[in-house]
Structure 1
Amino acid sequence: MTTVRLPADMEKKLQSISKARRKSKSEIIKDALEMFMEQEHLNYSSYELGEDLFGQHGSGRNDLSKNYKSILKDRLHDKFHTD
């Protein structure tokens, strides 16, 4: 449970909306928070939403997308050359 302290003017507006819509103040606050959180979610870029999932899946390495050519070259060299 969370308690929120509101300034008097905001409390009056909330009370007025509550009466007009015949909803509890808690319901109105929940609805407002849902709208806010949904909007916050929309403000993130695709990268920000998946950032914690990129770059380390499977191999555990986070440099594969940047260094894949040199990594592949080194592995092929190690596999086929025994110099």
Structure 2
Amino acid sequence: MTLSIRLDPELESELARAAAQTGRSKSELVKASLREYLARLAPRKTPYELGKDLFGDPSATAATLDLTSKDRVRSTIVERLRAENDR
């Protein structure tokens, strides 16, 4: 698709200078800039959405959820004590 835009002389001069410095065409620079701008406008994921695969399934029963670190430490200590006493 072809798109025409009007740039003020100063902006066109900056674009031409950037194209010369990078060895890329003005069209390439405009497309890359537009992609970056549109990516910033896209809805961002919440912290929960980014880590939900790490949190366990909230709809699962309590027994299937990961233990808290305190419970894991307690379980490890109990297992070691049992192993020592079974000798």
Normalising by the residue count of structure 2, what TM-score does the alignment of the two structures yield? 0.48
Matches within 5 A, 1:6-17: 6-17=7-18
Cα RMSD for the two superposed structures? 1.7
- How many Å apart are 1:12 and its aligned residue? 0.3
Task: Give the TM-score of the pair, scaled to structure 1.
Answer: 0.50
Which residue does the alignment assign to 1:3? 4
Number of residue equivalences:
45
What does 1:3-82 correspond to in 2, within 5 Å? 3-42=4-43
Per-residue Cα deviation, 1:3-34 (whole angstroms, up to 9, x for no partner): 01100000000000000000000000000000
Flag as ranges the 4+ runs of structure 1 deviating above 6 A.
none
- Structure 2 unaligned spans of 5+: 47-87
Segments of 5+ residues of structure 1 without an aligned counterpart are 47-83
Q: Secondary structure, in 3 states, of the residue corresponding to 1:3?
A: coil
